[in-house]
A and B are shown apart, each in its own frame.
Chain A
Amino acid sequence: MMTRMSSPTALIATATDDDPREGLHAVAALRRLVEQLERAHVARARMSGWSWQEIALALGVSKQAVHRKHRHTR
């Protein structure tokens, strides 16, 4: 997933760049990627017969939160 071992450094470099815009845009892109990954893996877990409780525990959120967010995921 990471192209460089020094990805935290890359993150910090982006974050402390003179223009904060690029770093903020990168965070927005990262948030979109995290959402996509979460949906993909929740869908996979559901297809494998996982309960909402198990998924919530793995994601570290409440069962209600995960169900509200993902009940439409196929």
Chain B
Amino acid sequence: MPDRFDREVSLALKAALTCARRQGAQEIGGEHVLVGISAVPSRAAATLAALGVDARRLEDAVSRGAHDARLLAGLGIDLAEVQRHVGDRLTTRWRTRRPRLRTDAGRAIAVSMQERRLGRSRRICSEHLLLGLLGSSVAARELLLALGVDLNELRRRLVHALADGG
């Protein structure tokens, strides 16, 4: 059976592209895909919402660089302080260039295809994509951790949701 995206996944990826553009990013990273998943009604978005995470909170955190802040703090760099120095210029707008998929986002999509096969589902749905992100995107994991999400609990709920209706 060929890998086919459920409609909610196509819409989530489009929303990820829009988010990356809004953020002035050159690449669509796992953090943007996470915002995209959360922005489109689906069981994965509902699972995130049940853990207190919605698209607005996620995108606010992305614009603050929450997906990189802890790692940079480990190097002694205070990202909030850097942003204060540079002002709002950290989100430079691009005129024509279309953001490409960053490696972690591409890997997450590939893993979502494997998850679909393992679960013998007909299509790749939002739970598969979110599981793929949890497995492959440090930025997505860091973003969720920054918002206080228990990643094991999220994974458990997603697997449960897939077993229920996948």
Residues of A within 8 A of B (CB): 1-4, 6-7, 10-11, 14, 22, 25-26, 28-30, 32-33, 35-37, 39-41, 43-44, 72-74
Contact = CB atoms under 8 A, between A and B. Distances in A.
Give the dominant DSSP class at A's interface. Answer: helix
Contacts of B65: 33
Nearest to B69: A29
B93 interface: yes
B96 A72 contact: yes
Interface of B: 26, 65, 68, 71-79, 81-82, 85-86, 89-90, 92-97, 138
Given A40-B92, A74-B93, A10 B72 contact: no
Contacts of B95: 72, 74
B59 to A, nearest CB: 17
Contacts of B89: 40-41, 43-44
B76 A33 contact: no
Given A29-B68, A29-B71, A74-B95, A1 B90 contact: no
B35 to A, nearest CB: 16
A39 B85 contact: no
